[in-house]
Structure 1
Amino acid sequence: MCGTSARLLQASTSAFVLVAFVGEGVGAVAVAGCLSTTNTGQISVDSVATPGSLTGALPVDVDRIAADPTAIPGPIMRTTPETVVVELETRELVAEVEPGVTFTYMTFDNQIPGPFIRTRVGDTVDLTVTNHPDNSMPHNIDLHSVRGPGGGAEDTMVMPGETKRITFKVTYPGLFVYHCAVPNLDYHISAGMFGAILVEPEEGLPPVDHEFYLGQHELYTTGETGEQGHHEFDFEAMAREDATYVLINGEKYAIGPQGYNDMQMTVGETARVYFAVGGPNLLSSFHPIGSVWDEVYPQGAIGSDPHRFVQTTPVLPGSAVIAILSAPVPGPIKLVDHALSRVARKGCLAAIDVQGEEDPEIYDPEPAQG
């Protein structure tokens, strides 16, 4: 990565090898998605996958399944409740997990995580859920911000081509997960059907320079990590909780200078990160490599006092966190699940690209000889 976070290297088997520098302090190297042992001239890459067990990669329906982490409605400035209209469409789409690896995802509005919904306490949400006619399965939505049967799941169950509408009032503040909740809900969540709804307190939220929205989930497939071809879903692996990939925003190492460089900051700025864990099974140990969380609202509970200067915060499956950080020096801030094999081998990393002047009083990579 060396300043940009990653390189795609062409291996001798025509497979892609992603070399990601995700170590802390010493800049250790993590290698994922390898099909053979190859010497790149700089690093030896060991095999983690056995090719040949999958069909070829399928044509993709969308070029990008990863949600843009900056695509967030702006802070609510009004002081009175209103009706917030939300329209969601469920889609089953083939997309790449990483180059040469395809999977049939399930989504809200063609992205993972689903759209960020922003409300304030007292608002009424007018929600419409449509199941695209090309889909093959029923879908629905359970919102953890809803006081009502199944979080709305029972009344939003839609077969392909159907539409359902409900309204509900948001009565308590926080960041809450929503997800599909059909009988095979673990499969649908794993395949990407989750997102977050923010309910701001009546007084609003403190100002920050940036807001970012990310979601973690795991994929269970019939292939090995990095094995080229089309990966089908593996129910037995899911029952064992043996994930093939652990992903942030649905793609391996997607968000950052190594991929979609959406999250950018300048030295001296602050950012509020909204982070949802769909799961369906794995807890995230959410950590910013190269920084610290200045404030954390565990489980998205913004009605409670924040924790201060937190290194790693646990986020349960089906829960969320609001975490604030600052950037006093330049360099990438790598957001990871600190169960680090998930980073090094299964794809769980996003990065904020921080640009600006260095401050040797805080961090000096080349101190003068004393």
Structure 2
Amino acid sequence: MTDSTSPDRRTVLKAAGVGGALSVAGCLDSTVEDQPEPEEAANNQTDDGPGEAKAVDTDRIAADPTDLPDPVDWNEPRHHEVEMKTTEETAEIEPGVTFDYMTFDGRIPGPMVRVRQGDTVNVTLTNEESNSMPHNIDFHAVYGPGGGAGASTVNPGETASFEFKAMYPGVHVYHCAVPNLDHHISAGMFGAILVEPKEGLPEVDRELYFGQHELYTDAEAGEKGHHNFDFGAMKSEDPTYVCLNGEAYAITGDGYGPVDVEKGERVRIFHANGGPNLISSWHGIGNVWETFYRDGAIASEPDHYVETAPVVPGSVAIAEIDTPVPGPIKLVDHALSRVARKGMLGIINVEGEAEPEIFDPEPA
């Protein structure tokens, strides 16, 4: 189902500057891969380093990990209207370092969509008029061509809709899937859709939602100024930053602060890996994944007491943890140079009284 204001296919292809391969979302032939976006020639790496930092359009691009929908509490199929806007905006990767991001609804990762198996979902995507490129959305939870990408491809200032039935349970990535989709995803255009099983998920005390991805720029991590996107670095899979929620060290004391939880709470964490290229060796320092659903496969039996687990690009893992002692739990990619040098760290801070029988930092 398409909004009457959406462009026809020929208009979109002309704007994107590509041939018919657009309809096969994510399956790019050499014609598409070699076709630059309008900004690519200007944004390739130079020897001059970054220019002056740009004025920012927003003070924060990182999504709040606590901002996600409540668990499913209905027992019959429902119809959902999901509306999203695509944005192109400048924000800081870290203080003094600006970058031109692309997002769903102005945050990274994009908003979590939460439905029940058997529900019907109508998706409406609006490409803001101030944007410079076509965008669309590919839901990995969709049975249908391109996950809805072809039906939702829109030029700046236009809107399109499609509808699907959520037929299989699990948590799945969604992302932009126009040509040069790796650029769009890297710059922030990904999120997660959770399709709960008909019986729902086990109850927990708290849920959190994070997204990991890589930024490829024409400067070194921490180098002040405006970082342009570097297509050469992306092709080489050599990122400047590996981010959690769009920024370097965003969910730490050096960013917007850690997430606080109470000792004894059971916490469910959704970890979406937008990529576009790197496998995450997802690990919680000071804890283990007590219950772990690989690739978000909640219809399968989970693993237990997992120390470190791969989360491949284009997937979402679910971990449930217990919090028996106070102190920080550091969420990292155990490819540790990404933590120490590229920004990939978030912190959950467990508050409460000490439990020396479990952990005693100063034994007598």
Bin for the TM-score computed over the shorter chain: 0.7 to 0.9
CA contact under 8 A between 1:297 and 1:321: conserved in structure 2? yes
CA contact under 8 A between 2:273 and 2:314: conserved in structure 1? yes
Aligned match of 2:75? 79
Quick check: 1:344 aligned with 2:314? no
Aligned match of 1:198? 194
Instruction: Return the TM-score normalized by structure 2.
Output: 0.86
Aligned match of 2:235? 239
**Code of the aligned partner of 2:118:** G
**Code of the aligned partner of 1:199:** V
In structure 2, the CA distance between the partners of 1:262 and 1:126, relative to structure 1 (3 Å rule), is: farther
Aligned match of 2:63? 67
Aligned match of 1:229? 225
Aligned match of 2:251? 255
Distance in 1, matches of 2:175 and 2:71, equals 23
Q: Which secondary structure state, in structure 2, belongs to the residue aligned with residue 80 of structure 1?
A: coil
CA contact under 8 A between 1:70 and 1:262: conserved in structure 2? no
What do residues 267-315 of structure 1 show as CA deviations (whole Å, max 9, x unaligned)? 1111000110000000000000011110000000000000000000100
Distance in 2, matches of 1:292 and 1:100, equals 35
Distance in 2, matches of 1:54 and 1:167, equals 43
Distance in 2, matches of 1:54 and 1:186, equals 22
**Code of the aligned partner of 1:87:** E
Aligned match of 1:218? 214
Distance in 2, matches of 1:290 and 1:52, equals 42
The Cα of 1:262 is off from its aligned counterpart by 5.5
Distance in 1, matches of 2:95 and 2:346, equals 17
Aligned match of 2:319? 323
Distance in 2, matches of 1:85 and 1:302, equals 24
Distance in 1, matches of 2:206 and 2:228, equals 37
Which structure has greater strand proportion? Answer: 1
**Code of the aligned partner of 1:297:** Y
5+ residue gaps, structure 2, are 1-46
The Cα of 1:258 is off from its aligned counterpart by 3.2
Distance in 1, matches of 2:75 and 2:252, equals 36
| Within-5 A mapping of 1:31-42 | none
Instruction: Return the TM-score normalized by structure 1.
Output: 0.85
Aligned match of 2:110? 114
Aligned match of 1:307? 303
CA contact under 8 A between 1:141 and 1:178: conserved in structure 2? yes
CA contact under 8 A between 1:81 and 1:122: conserved in structure 2? yes
Quick check: 1:129 aligned with 2:125? yes
Distance in 2, matches of 1:263 and 1:209, equals 14
CA contact under 8 A between 2:85 and 2:104: conserved in structure 1? yes
Identity rate of aligned residues, in percent? 62
The Cα of 1:54 is off from its aligned counterpart by 1.3
5+ residue gaps, structure 1, are 1-50
Distance in 2, matches of 1:232 and 1:296, equals 37
Q: Which secondary structure state, in structure 2, belongs to the residue aligned with residue 213 of structure 1?
A: strand
| Among 167, 183, 186, the residue aligned to 1:187 | 183
Quick check: 1:366 aligned with 2:362? yes
Q: Which secondary structure state, in structure 2, belongs to the residue aligned with residue 135 of structure 1?
A: coil
Q: Which secondary structure state, in structure 1, belongs to the residue aligned with residue 347 of structure 2?
A: strand
Q: How many residues align?
A: 318
The Cα of 1:325 is off from its aligned counterpart by 0.5
CA contact under 8 A between 2:258 and 2:346: conserved in structure 1? no
Q: Which secondary structure state, in structure 2, belongs to the residue aligned with residue 89 of structure 1?
A: strand
The Cα of 1:261 is off from its aligned counterpart by 2.8
Aligned match of 1:165? 161
The Cα of 1:52 is off from its aligned counterpart by 6.5
Which aligned runs of 4 or more in structure 1 are off by greater than 4 angstroms? none
